[in-house]
Amino acid sequence: MTAATRQEQLATIFKSATVIPVLTIERLEDAVPLARALVAGGVRVLEVTLRTPVAADAAKAMIADVPEAIVGIGTILNADDLARARALGAKFGISPGATPELLKAAAASDLPFAPGIATASELMQALAAGFDIVKFFPAEQSGGIKALRALAGPFPNIRVCPTGGIGEANAATWLAEPNVVAVGGSWLCPAAEIRSGNWAGITAMCARTMKSLKPA
């Protein structure tokens, strides 16, 4: 698979998603019911972050037991994390930033990947490594839509998944930007709702969000 093919595959996944929930899973037993609740609400593309001891096993369980979900791995920090994501059977990978070593490993991998960027210099490094789909993070804290528009001036062909400070109130505004292919955030599955097992509530929130963001 060529680099361009990987990027187009990732673009297709992101565009189909509209919203990508950023999942931090503390208990392995929550993984499958959470994935089912999200899918039932029309949210199929999921980012499981490597932030907890059970994250890899949680992603593995989701992939095995919820085939309707398109599971990716987030918080990829190095080549080892990238290899773990690939071995788990993830459909894509996302990083909050990108070192030269990670960009090199991702360019050599066949896993569709979006490196994180917040500045023009970081974006130039990602583009030089073959990645024109990036995660803009932390989006609001890095200047918000004004910053994205400024970056799109010299780099008009970038495709962006902004994450950080995005929620129900401003997701539609971000999605209206021509360079934005999807948005990421954790508001669809608050930690308190996961801890209490309020799967019906998460499904309802997802359904409401997707109805409001996707054109009829």
Model pLDDT, residue 2: 87
Confidence at 48, pLDDT banded by 50, 70, 90: very high
Confidence at 214, pLDDT banded by 50, 70, 90: confident
Residue 1 reports pLDDT greater than 90: no
173-195: average pLDDT: 96
Size (the chain), residues: 216
Instruction: For residue 147, give the nearest of 102, 186, 180 by alpha carbon.
Output: 180
Q: Is 68 a catalytic residue?
A: no
Catalytic residue among 47, 60, 91, 140: 47
Residue 216 reports pLDDT greater than 50: no
Confidence at 215, pLDDT banded by 50, 70, 90: low
H or E, element range at 93: strand 93-94
Model pLDDT, residue 92: 98
Q: Which residue has the higher pLDDT, 102 or 3?
A: 102
46-59: average pLDDT: 98
**What CATH number is given for 3-211 in this structure?**
3.20.20.70
Question: What percent of the chain shows pLDDT beyond 70?
Answer: 99
Model pLDDT, residue 17: 97
CA distance 74 to 113: 10
Catalytic residue among 8, 135, 140, 146: 135
> Dmax of the chain from CA atoms?
47
| pLDDT tens per residue, range 75-125 | 999 999 999 999 999 999 999 999 999 999 999 999 999 999 999 999 999
Model pLDDT, residue 5: 92
Model pLDDT, residue 3: 85
Confidence at 175, pLDDT banded by 50, 70, 90: very high
Q: Is 168 a catalytic residue?
A: no
Cβ pair 136, 174 in contact under 8 A: no
Tell me the backbone φ, ψ of residue 2, rounded to 5 degrees: -75, 165
